[in-house]
Structure 1
Amino acid sequence: MKPVARIRSVFPAVSVRALAVALVSLHLALPAAAASLDDLLNAAKLGDSAEVAQLVARGMDPNSTDQSGNTLLILAAREDQPAVVAELVKQRGIRLDARNAAGDSALMLASLRGHAGVVDQLLKAGAAFDHEGWNPLLYAAFEGRAAIAGLLLDKGANPNALAPNRSTPLMFAARNGHDEVVARLLKAGASLDLANDQKETAESWAVKYRNTDIAGMIQAERKVRAARR
């Protein structure tokens, strides 16, 4: 027996109009019940903002996480899905600064991976960028993400932020040969003389790893600052 006929056999007095309304209501209710968490997570990762919006509107949690603690926002930021990010930051109660099991936030992973557009979206939405431990600027400096370092510094990020081993963004950029990031950090007033737990400075790391141009930039900046005193 077909579904409609089965329903009519149970409720023979129900009008065709009432039956149609009931079926439409049932159809509208199904996605929220039938959709799985995997559907929602995959939609965030793959950039299906319409699917994310629909599933959230039907009752799924915009702060849902995968088994590694990645929220929808973290997944979308990590995978460079700006449309999904835009949809999620509009949601009431969205946790902009949620961390996954590794301690990374959406802004941290977008900075690490070089997704400047997503970084800009998250900053405009009010995501935290200056905090203890690993942070977005440290990640951007380590990976040489100059545009992102610029966005963060323009927003007011501390150029002397300290990693857990007390290395600064300038140290990482100098060690890894990221001269454009070094230039941005020097312009922002990054300290030239801070040393990490291994007693390394930005200049000593630049010399050690044969980034002679960067060592020269730091030495030149030292002279400029000395002349200002």
Structure 2
Amino acid sequence: MVKFLLENGADPNKKDNAKTVPIIEAAKNGNYEIAELLVNKGANIDYFVTNMKTALNMALMQRHEDVARLFVEHGADVNLAISNGETPLMTAIARKYYDIAEEMLKRGANIEAKDKDGDNALAFCTLNNDEEGLTFLIKHGANVNAKVSNGDTPLLIAYKKGFGRIAGLLLMNDTDIDIENDQGHSIILYQLYMKKKLPATWKKFSKELDSLRSQDSDDDDDDDEEDDSDDE
């Protein structure tokens, strides 16, 4: 029916009583065929529903990866945030749609964009102990020293949360250990606090950190062996 109507001149941007439009509904339901037809018939891909989402954000939030990819490839605004300030890039990384996130970055997505609370994508990954997402962001040039909403650096968050592997990734990628948060606390100060007041947390944290460093050292050894093999 939708296809018939569109092919016979129906307005692809006509709002319903809830002031939403067909492309939002197609994104919500994951209907790729209808979404593609709407795009090709001139639907406004960046239409924003008040207190809801754009079609791109809707598709990402509902985990309709193919529909989200369609919108990006057809020029959706990759920096158009929803009402809480969350950008499509943040959502794509949270959903682990890294190929879509990479395409967004190629199309100008702001990797340092912050939501209304003042947190960016790197902060989200740090807070959620998302090692894979953090690695992706670092690889694509995210600022590892950017402060988050409460004035902490990502490294200090990792220490406070006891995320040893997250801290290790940050330390191996040029994190400045001397930066203080808005309360004047540094990594060194918090490390001393952990050792004295949170010994169990510190033990777990140190174990994870050492594990990552050991893994990195093994990877370097493997690279050296490959280089030696190439020389032969």
> By the TM > 0.5 criterion, same fold?
yes
> Kindly tell me: are residues 156 and 139 of structure 1, through their superposed partners in 2, closer, same or farther at Cα, counting changes over 3 Å?
same
Aligned to 1:101: 83
CA-based RMSD of the aligned residues comes to: 3.1
Alpha-carbon distance in structure 1 between the residues aligned to 2:205 and 2:153: 15
Tell me the number of residue pairs that the alignment of Structure 1 and Structure 2 aligns.
195
User: 1:130-155 CA distances to partner (integer Å, 9 max, x unpaired)?
Assistant: 24642111111111111111111011
Aligned to 2:126: 141
> Kindly tell me: are residues 135 and 56 of structure 1, through their superposed partners in 2, closer, same or farther at Cα, counting changes over 3 Å?
same
Look up the SS of the partner of 1:86 in the other structure. Answer: helix
Aligned to 1:211: 201
Verify: 1:40 aligned to 2:40, yes or no.
no
Q: CA deviation at 1:83?
A: 0.9
Alpha-carbon distance in structure 2 between the residues aligned to 1:116 and 1:90: 14
- My pick for the range that moved more, 29-38 or 189-198, is 29-38
1:41 maps to amino acid: I
- My pick for the range that moved more, 184-193 or 64-73, is 64-73
User: 1:151-191 CA distances to partner (integer Å, 9 max, x unpaired)?
Assistant: 11011111101113321222222222333322211111112
> Kindly tell me: are residues 40 and 29 of structure 1, through their superposed partners in 2, closer, same or farther at Cα, counting changes over 3 Å?
same
- My pick for the range that moved more, 153-162 or 115-124, is 115-124
Alpha-carbon distance in structure 2 between the residues aligned to 1:25 and 1:214: 60
Larger radius of gyration: 1
Matches within 5 A, 1:81-100: 81-92=64-75, 94-100=76-82
Residues 114, 140 of structure 1: 8 Å contact kept:
no
Alpha-carbon distance in structure 1 between the residues aligned to 2:94 and 2:185: 23
Unaligned runs of 5+ in 1: 1-23, 222-229
1:211 maps to amino acid: T
User: 1:109-136 CA distances to partner (integer Å, 9 max, x unpaired)?
Assistant: 3334554454334334431102464211
Give the counterpart of 2:165 among 180, 185, 208.
Answer: 180
Matches within 5 A, 1:105-184: 105-112=87-94, 114-131=96-113, 133-184=118-169
Alpha-carbon distance in structure 1 between the residues aligned to 2:185 and 2:73: 44
> Kindly tell me: are residues 120 and 148 of structure 1, through their superposed partners in 2, closer, same or farther at Cα, counting changes over 3 Å?
farther
> Kindly tell me: are residues 27 and 75 of structure 1, through their superposed partners in 2, closer, same or farther at Cα, counting changes over 3 Å?
closer
